[in-house]
Each structure stands twice: as C-alpha cells, then as structure tokens.
C-alpha cells in the first residue's frame, strides 16, 4: 500500500469510525437517493461580522465525509465532468446534544488527495 493509499484509508477511518469521531449522517440527493454514512460533524455558534470585526452569534455547521465511502454505498458525488456536485443535497445529523438537524449543503470542498469532502451546511428550509 502506498503512502497516499494509506492516507486515504486513514482519513476514511478517522471520519467514519462511529466509536470515535464519526457520527451518523443521512444524505439525500435532489432526486431523493438516500444513504446513511458516518462523517465528522462540527457545529458552533460563533461567527465574525466582517464589517465591524466583532464576534456574532451565528450557527456554523460542516461535515467532513469520505468520498470513497459515499461512492461504495452507491451515492453519486460527481458529475460526468468529474466535478463534485453535492451542493443542494440534504444532510440530517445529530449534534452533541442529540438534536437532529436537517441541513442543505451550501458549499462542497473536495480534497482529491485524501478523498475527503468538506460540506458547508445551512439550515434546510
């Protein structure tokens, strides 16, 4: 196994291991394909007002998920041009209090070296 292959496997293990950092997430595509996979979830309520530079109370949520894991479950992450296409997908995930939040993906940032995709989440309306 090459060093790159090992790094990809380690990134998947760290983000998806349910006994450590991984938490269960339900992914729903715009065409209603659904899959459940573990990911690393973060949510905090501190943002910055860029006009004043002051801290503000603003929910910020994201997840880091293994692209090979999603692909192994049959969940499509890229279009025919090879671009990551998870914007506007829905993700349901529980926070540390156990409250399940439903989000919409507003941004997706794939790391083609480690096979991780960071998804910026906003409240689903």
Indicate the burial class of 90 (C-beta count within 10 angstroms; 0-12, 13-18, 19 or more): middle
Q: What angle do CA 34, 88, 30 make, to 5 degrees?
A: 40
CATH code for the domain in which residue 13 is found: 2.40.10
Q: Which of 106, 18, 110 has its CA nearest to residue 59?
A: 106
Please identify every stretch of the chain with a pLDDT value under 70, giving residue numbers as ranges: none
Enter the pTM of the model: 0.86
Six token digits for residue 92: 């349901």
Question: SS3 of 2, please?
Answer: coil
Domain span at residue 73 reads 3-123
Mean pLDDT score of the chain, rounded to an integer?
91
Q: What's the pLDDT tens digit per position in 56-77?
A: 887 889 999 999 999 999 999 9
Alpha carbons 27 and 93: distance in angstroms, whole number: 9
Q: What's the domain count of the chain?
A: 1
């Amino acid at each position: 196994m090459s060093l790159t292959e090992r790094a990809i496997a380690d990134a998947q293990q760290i983000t998806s291991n349910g006994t450590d950092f991984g938490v269960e997430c339900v992914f729903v595509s715009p065409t209603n394909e659904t899959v459940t996979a573990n990911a690393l979830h973060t949510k905090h309520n501190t943002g910055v007002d860029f006009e004043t530079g002051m801290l503000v109370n603003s929910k910020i949520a994201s997840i880091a998920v293994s692209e090979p894991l999603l692909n192994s479950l049959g969940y499509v992450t890229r279009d025919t041009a090879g671009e990551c296409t998870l914007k506007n997908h829905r993700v349901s995930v529980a926070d540390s209090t156990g409250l399940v939040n439903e989000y919409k993906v507003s941004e997706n940032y794939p790391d083609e070296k480690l096979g991780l995709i960071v998804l910026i989440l906003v409240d689903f309306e």
